[in-house]
Amino acid sequence: MSVQAISTDKAPAAIGPYSQAIVAGGFLFTAGQIPLDPTSGEIVAGDVVPQSEQVLANLAAVLAKAGCTWTDVVKTTVFLQDMADFPRFNEVYAQTLGDARPARSTVQVAALPRGVAVEVELIAKLPS
């Protein structure tokens, strides 16, 4: 099985020894995305709403680089700093994904990198 790293400048560069995403076995596996602006490298200001919008925009850029869209996503994992943010995250998520309904897990975590409110990773099936 071949493994290929995926990278786009339309999403934040990896800030450690990892890839934005990996293609393997017909699937795309992304690293977790936090609300970093890919141009400035800064955390998007505001609460969970603008942060969620940026996280999902970053993931959309990685999906596009791999030739995928939200309809190709089979699983997302959402990490929230505070589960009280779930309803507002869910609104942004539903608007962004449209009719796509991948399987999803959402967990509250003790901390996220750089003190952000949300991080999301996903798995997508590559188009045939």
Written as one string, the DSSP assignment of 6-68 is E--TTSPPPSSSS-SEEEETTEEEEPPB-SB-TTT-PBPPSSHHHHHHHHHHHHHHHHHHTT-
pLDDT digits (tens, 9 = 90+) for 65-117: 999 999 999 999 999 999 999 999 999 999 999 999 999 999 999 999 999 99
pLDDT digits (tens, 9 = 90+) for 38-68: 999 999 999 999 999 999 999 999 999 999 9
Torsion angle of the four alpha carbons 114, 73, 66, 27, in this order, in degrees rounded to the nearest 10: 100
Q: pLDDT-derived band of residue 14, with 50, 70 and 90 as boundaries?
A: confident
What pTM did the predictor assign?
Answer: 0.96
Domain count for the chain? 1
Average pLDDT (112-125) is 97
Which CATH number is 116's domain given? Answer: 3.30.1330.40
Within 13 Å and on the Cβ side, how many CA atoms surround 92?
Answer: 18
Domain that holds residue 23: 3-125
Q: Tell whether the model's pLDDT for residue 19 goes beyond 90.
A: yes
Q: What residue type is 118 in one-letter code?
A: V
The token pair that represents 121 in the structure block: 């990773």
Q: Tell whether the model's pLDDT for residue 1 goes beyond 90.
A: no
CA–centroid distance for 91 within its chain: 16
Q: pLDDT-derived band of residue 128, with 50, 70 and 90 as boundaries?
A: confident
Cβ-contact 46, 8 below 8 angstroms: no
The pLDDT value recorded for residue 15 is 80
The pLDDT value recorded for residue 91 is 98
Q: Quick one: DSSP state of residue 126?
A: P
